[in-house]
Amino acid sequence: MNADLTLNKKILGWEPQVSLEKGLTKTYKWIEGTLEKKYKIVNLLQKYW
């Protein structure tokens, strides 16, 4: 299933740079990495408190 983005390009001059699947995958990995870093910091702080 693909969306017709012709109107977006015509009115806004915008078109996606990556596919929806790739964009969602990159977003998921970013969130996962961010949460992992936060949990490491919290665990480190808990050790010393």
Q: Are 5 and 15 in contact (CB under 8 A)?
A: yes
Regarding pTM above 0.75, the answer is no
Long-range contact pairs involving 9-16 (C-beta distance under 8 Å, separation at least 24): none
The per-residue pLDDT for range 1-40, each reduced to its tens digit, is 567 889 889 999 999 999 999 999 999 999 999 999 999 9
- Tokens 């740079």 correspond to 17
